[in-house]
Chains A and B, each alone.
Chain A
């Protein structure tokens, strides 16, 4: 007989955390109104902020974390989060499909190459030690987890430094990259033949091609290409296949034992499969919400681009009189959909620039993304929105708690975060940009990133177990 007891139940908001959450929401609303009163075009930036808040609420509600999905699968044989991620993937592919056929998609497919799986491997290994993926670290920061805040800082600076590697790293790149980079005819101020990452991007990645399943179909019927190609073949069928593997390898045994089934019929298997899908209602609901709102964000941003007749937020910023921090093309990072790491790299780059290091001579910042002031960096404010949205819900649920890192977890956060940053830049995104947003738009490179992330996660779990064994070596019988 199990029992659950907790602190006396009170009204949802009638406690200190509830009041702070309401105050926080009021301040964000007030600031939004002030910005719109000052210039209605800030709506473009505020769309990012408010979608970020919504993502933060769903992430915290479902404790939605890719690190948890992969790590718990291998470490404790729990598929709960992996199932939630797969549900979100299938649903987002449908909303992303609607946005694409409506003509508002802002998605660009990633170039296919070895860098994706290597990036995923490094990212996946690092995230086991940090305890959270890129989006998970944001929502956990919102719960007061200072360890996750340290992870975010480590990701930000490692990416900024990695994209701005100096001349010493040139010899690490193949000669062919330097030749190819020189042929691109990029402006001298970008010095694309100087620095490993510039050589990697201009001499290697730019020579690759990629596309979506719909691009390959081109049947003449956009609905068919998008919903059968991108959604069904590119996302939903692989998702179902993964769910079946998860059921057979992790959930089935426990389900059969709990229900005392020794010779299960097909109906029992289906009940077991359904039981796995609904085992964590919160994660499934979060997956549903994230899938729907991630699609809506693409639609909203696409509609605003059409309304303002722009391709990139940099154009709008320039019209509004903000030119500092734009790339040499007058652009800033503006994906128009859920993304995490590039804006964190921009934060690191902006701080390094403030400290006197010129990072604008590389293609990542100088040509494409810029290093806008964080106060007008729309995707970065989406990340802040995720943190605040998670804070609001955590405060309401009485789950907000300041947690300080100790030496061990701080080292894990810094080193793991650095690996995640390097992996994200190599793989051209994180668990959101390189996987979630990719596969749901029919870009199969996302499944390659997931494969890399999974192998990296498996290696990370084995390394963590070795660490636990080493840490407790030779102690008494009650030591772990």
Chain B
């Protein structure tokens, strides 16, 4: 179990923080978004529900668009576009 940050393609990255609980998911998401350029897409995979609410509020506050959210068997996959 490790935090994984990969480039899927140009302008599209993936951060996987499954298995991690607070504060790791929100803090690593913030760090990942700081690395992205405006308009880049981040696929975020995590399984700690309470981090999700903080990440959603953080994106809303900073102008990043969480444009797709899916969840299955306790694992969430979110698509975020950096604003």
Contact = CB atoms under 8 A, between A and B. Distances in A.
Given A68-B22, A479-B5, A480-B3, A399 B49 contact: yes
A464 B54 CA distance: 17
Nearest to B83: A257
B63 interface: yes
Q: Classify the secondary structure of B's interface with A.
A: mixed
A65 B50 contact: yes
B28 A480 contact: yes
Interface string B45-77: 001111001110110111101111111111000
Interface residues of A, number: 48
A26 B7 CA distance: 50
Contacts of A6: 70-72
Contacts of B19: 403-404, 406
A253 B60 CA distance: 11
Contacts of A401: 47, 74
Interface residues of B, number: 43
B69 A257 contact: no
A78 B65 contact: no
Interface in A115-165: 128, 131-132, 140, 143, 145, 147-148
B27 A464 contact: yes
A81 B6 CA distance: 31
Interface string B4-28: 0111000001010001111110111
Given A65-B50, A399-B74, A409 B20 contact: yes
Given A68-B50, A76-B58, A403-B21, A2 B26 contact: no
Interface core residue of B13, B21, B32, B47 (most chain A CB under 10 Å): B21
A2 B71 contact: no
Nearest to B47: A401
A95 to B, nearest CB: 26
A154 B51 CA distance: 23
A398 interface: yes
Nearest to B60: A254
Contacts of A80: 53-54, 57
Contact of A5 (B23, B69, B73): B69
Contact of A478 (B5, B49, B50): B5
A468 interface: yes
Contact of A257 (B5, B28, B63): B63
Nearest to B48: A403
Contacts of B30: 75-76
Interface in A440-480: 464-465, 468, 478-480
A322 to B, nearest CB: 38
A5 B22 contact: no
A465 B24 CA distance: 10
A67 interface: yes
Contacts of B3: 480
B61 A5 contact: no
Contact of B70 (A5, A279, A280): A5
B59 to A, nearest CB: 10
Contacts of B50: 63, 65, 68, 140
A234 to B, nearest CB: 29
Contacts of B15: 480
Contacts of B62: 77, 254
Interface of B: 1, 3, 5-7, 13, 15, 19-24, 26-28, 30-32, 35, 47-50, 53-55, 57-58, 60-63, 65-74
17 contacts: A7-B71, A7-B73, A63-B49, A72-B26, A75-B23, A75-B26, A75-B30, A76-B27, A76-B30, A76-B57, A77-B58, A80-B54, A132-B22, A258-B60, A465-B27, A479-B5, A480-B15
Given A65-B22, A75-B30, A254-B60, 12 more contacts: A2-B65, A2-B66, A71-B23, A72-B57, A80-B53, A258-B60, A279-B57, A403-B48, A406-B1, A478-B13, A479-B5, A480-B31
Nearest 7 pairs of A and B residues by beta carbon: A131-B22, A254-B61, A63-B50, A76-B58, A78-B57, A5-B70, A6-B71
